[in-house]
Amino acid sequence: MSLSTDTIYALSSGSLPAGVAVLRISGDQAMSALASFLEKSPPPPRTVSLRTIRNRNNDVIDQALVMTFPGPGSFTGEDCVELQLHGSRAVVDAVFAQLDSMPGVRHAEAGEFSKRAYDNGKMDLLEVEGLADLLKAETEMQRRLAIEQTSGRLSDLYDVWANRLTRCRAMIEAELDFSDEEDVPDSVADQVWRDVSLLSVEIADHLNSGTSREIIRDGFKVALVGAPNVGKSSLLNVLTGRDVAIVTDIAGTTRDVLSTDLNLDGYLVTIFDTAGLRDDTDDVVELEGMRRARQTAEDADLIFSMSDNDSEPQQFSETILPVIRIATKSDIRDLIDGQHDLAISVKDGSGIDALRSKILEEIQRRVGSTSTLSPVRARHKKRVEETLNYVREALQAQELDLAIRSEYLRLAATSLGRITGRVDVEDLLGVIFSEFCIGK
């Protein structure tokens, strides 16, 4: 998305028709565009005023609440106008038609308002991504995580680390250039590498805490696996409260992986219903379904290995634990023994609450305390890992020239800058801002 000087406009509210349609205008011509709709002068900045909106022929289009936000004290850093219109298509179309007729005024692209906020220094990339996550948040924990990221605390942490690295480099340069001067003590190198060593530990701890944030943002994945007809699809339907999967007495009804999302105490949980696993089939489609079932189990955060009185619990490698062994159809026969952890029945509901509790316990065990700042996205994690590698290279390369070790520290600081967008991120911008809806 290239830098544009056009004045842009778009709806920031939901699809029409609606009770209210919120229209945003941003750019140098925002105030003059507003003036073209009004008989009187615009309201004072940051106040709400009820005004009659008219077209060029002085015909009334609507009555709207009008607000103005002169730059740079606005979301985008430019002059901004907000109109709260009645949310009919006819009203919005009439306003859009007049805006379209103005030279230098055009409809905004997806994410363009946020892009301008970034270009004008109102937000960094971490805050922009946090805003995108906030708009998409479906659960309470996702909302909290997004709010924390938009607060700038994570950006501040990375900036502090980058400044510490810069200070260390400055001290190294002082030792290289002024080693004969009395103002530069002999212990400078020791001070530098002690601080770099401490920083290395801090970054490593930061990375180790990142898994919890990924679970909150992307969801906790639970795979239902087992032989055909043990009740996987029935359990999926009970957990979601609707008929997501087809349930029959015919073995192999589920051929592919089905998934649905749950909100469990504020956490996003994705349940995967997989094809039944058995050895006595030559059906090509069913064999592919079983391959996908095993792959889903390997990628899951938790496996429910399900079996009834006619089947044995599936065995899984220790590398894809944790596995909870579920005995199904407990209304027919109690199967709790040394091979199972929990018995359930989708018919009478017994054990379902306990099963939900098992999921929540595992999430909370994995997430732990969410008060510690940690990487949220894979992009962040990759750059922090890169930073840590450069810092460790600088620490371990004791036999190399100080200038080379200083260069490792510079590369580490650059990696941190790429997370927040301080340096060299032009190739990322189109991808990040494409996540936004029109009007944001």
Q: How far apart are CA 358 and CA 265, in angstroms?
A: 13
Whether residues 85 and 144 share a domain: the answer is: no
Q: Has residue 431 been placed in a domain?
A: no
Q: Has residue 1 been placed in a domain?
A: no
| Positions of the chain with pLDDT under 50 | 1, 184, 318-319
Contact 107, 93 (CB under 8 A): no
Whether residues 361 and 242 share a domain: the answer is: yes
For residue 12, the number of C-alpha atoms closer than 13 Å in the C-beta half-sphere is 19
Q: Has residue 437 been placed in a domain?
A: no
Whether residues 83 and 148 share a domain: the answer is: no
Whether residues 333 and 252 share a domain: the answer is: yes
Whether residues 232 and 358 share a domain: the answer is: yes
| Structural domain span for residue 54 | 7-123
Contact 208, 406 (CB under 8 A): no
Q: Has residue 427 been placed in a domain?
A: no
Whether residues 187 and 230 share a domain: the answer is: no
Question: Which pLDDT does position 427 carry in this prediction?
Answer: 56
Question: 303: part of which helix (H) or strand (E)?
Answer: strand 302-307
Give the total number of structural domains in the chain: 3
Whether residues 359 and 221 share a domain: the answer is: yes
Whether residues 345 and 230 share a domain: the answer is: yes
CATH, residue 356: 3.40.50.300
Q: Global pTM?
A: 0.76
Cα distances from 70 to residues 46, 47, 134, 373, in angstroms, run: 9, 12, 26, 34
Q: Has residue 82 been placed in a domain?
A: yes
Question: Which pLDDT does position 348 carry in this prediction?
Answer: 85
Whether residues 272 and 340 share a domain: the answer is: yes
Q: Has residue 22 been placed in a domain?
A: yes
Whether residues 361 and 220 share a domain: the answer is: yes
Question: Which pLDDT does position 186 carry in this prediction?
Answer: 53
CATH, residue 169: 1.20.120.430
318 burial level (CB within 10 Å; 0-12, 13-18, 19+):
exposed
Whether residues 263 and 394 share a domain: the answer is: no
Q: How far apart are CA 437 and CA 215, in angstroms?
A: 24
